[in-house]
Structure 1
Amino acid sequence: MKGNIMADATVYFEDIAVGDSIAFGPLTVSREETIAFAAEFDAQPFHLSDEAAAATHFGTLSASGWHTTALFMKMFVTEMQRDPGRQAASLGAMGVDELRWLRPVRPGDTLRGTSEVIAKKASQSRPEMGIVHSKVTILNQDDDAVLTMIPIALWRTRPV
């Protein structure tokens, strides 16, 4: 993370500044995982076969948007776990605003992303935590944005 975040030190809510960012990835999407995810969680024909996709606006097999969102989480958590200080104060999330799937993700695409802090506020009801809004952008190998969203994360405040 750029900004005032130090590696290997616990990163509390107070240490996070608007404008701080983190890059994560890359991750290459396989045909097998695209079909397996769709078969279990989003079994629409255009996520399962080239033939079915050819009859739609997708044209070829494309990953479920939910799969793309799960791939974001995989890349992001992998990056967070590289720095135990960031992981130590993370308390999960309250939800996601403005989730957008901008372009199809196809087998063979290589994804990477960034997350930039866009707002933060102390919790009024839970003083032991703060709320951080970030803008996430996932790009493919051509630097085309394929997903954007605003996760709302909870962070532990510095102990008194």
Structure 2
Amino acid sequence: MRHYGDITVGETEEYGAYEVTKDEIIEFGRKYDPQPFHTDEEAARNSYFGELVASGWHTASICMRLSVEMKQREGHEPENNLAGAGVDELRWHEPVKPGDVLRIRREVVDKRPVESETAGGYIDARIEGINQNDDVVISYVGKSLHGKR
């Protein structure tokens, strides 16, 4: 298990190959972001995007899934992540479309210790969601509290 003290600023990893489907774009859109360009192919063709696109919140959710999977995959030492502490600098750069395959790049950009019996400190990591064309589609700084040994 990797603890706060084991994580260094500058660490970078890439992981993932998540294919986004038309059906899940529509399902997520209907449930959480019911704008026509997320829920209706015909209406989407007449929108700014010209086609069906995923909600930015859907894209963020996929990146969260990939982040968790990255930390749990075989051969990767899991981190002692106690809790999420927020997100800063959230930006959607490019629309995500059906058939896009997303991966994430994570770089640790800051660490701050805390005085606690169990927590070592906060880790800030820049997350970029990248599609199959190497376009950054989303970026943000995820903040999390990590345990100590």
TM-score with structure 2 setting the length: 0.93
Distance in 1 (CA, whole Å) between partners of 2:95 and 2:38 is 10
Q: Please give the secondary structure, in 1, of the residue aligned with 2:24.
A: helix
Whether 2:108 is the aligned partner of 1:117: answer: yes
Q: Please give the secondary structure, in 1, of the residue aligned with 2:78.
A: helix
- The one-letter code of the counterpart of 2:20 is V
Whether 2:133 is the aligned partner of 1:142: answer: yes
After superposition, the CA RMSD in angstroms is 1.3
Whether 2:42 is the aligned partner of 1:51: answer: yes
TM-score with structure 1 setting the length: 0.87
Distance in 2 (CA, whole Å) between partners of 1:23 and 1:127 is 32
Distance apart, 1:35 and its partner CA: 0.6
2:16 aligns to what?
A: 25
Runs of 4+ in 1 over 3 A off after TM superposition: none
- The one-letter code of the counterpart of 1:149 is Y
Specify which of 58, 62, 65 is matched with residue 56 of structure 2. Answer: 65
Distance in 1 (CA, whole Å) between partners of 2:118 and 2:49 is 46
Distance in 2 (CA, whole Å) between partners of 1:155 and 1:94 is 10
Distance in 1 (CA, whole Å) between partners of 2:140 and 2:33 is 20
Specify which of 99, 107, 123 is matched with residue 132 of structure 1. Answer: 123
Whether 2:32 is the aligned partner of 1:41: answer: yes
1:7 aligns to what?
A: none
Whether 2:101 is the aligned partner of 1:105: answer: no
Specify which of 61, 74, 78 is matched with residue 86 of structure 1. Answer: 78
Ranges in structure 1 where 5+ consecutive residues have no aligned partner: 1-9
Distance in 2 (CA, whole Å) between partners of 1:32 and 1:74 is 18
Distance in 1 (CA, whole Å) between partners of 2:148 and 2:113 is 9
Distance apart, 1:22 and its partner CA: 2.1
Q: Measured at CA, do residues 120 and 127 of structure 1 come closer, stay the same or move farther in structure 2, by a change above 3 Å?
A: farther
Ranges in structure 2 where 5+ consecutive residues have no aligned partner: none
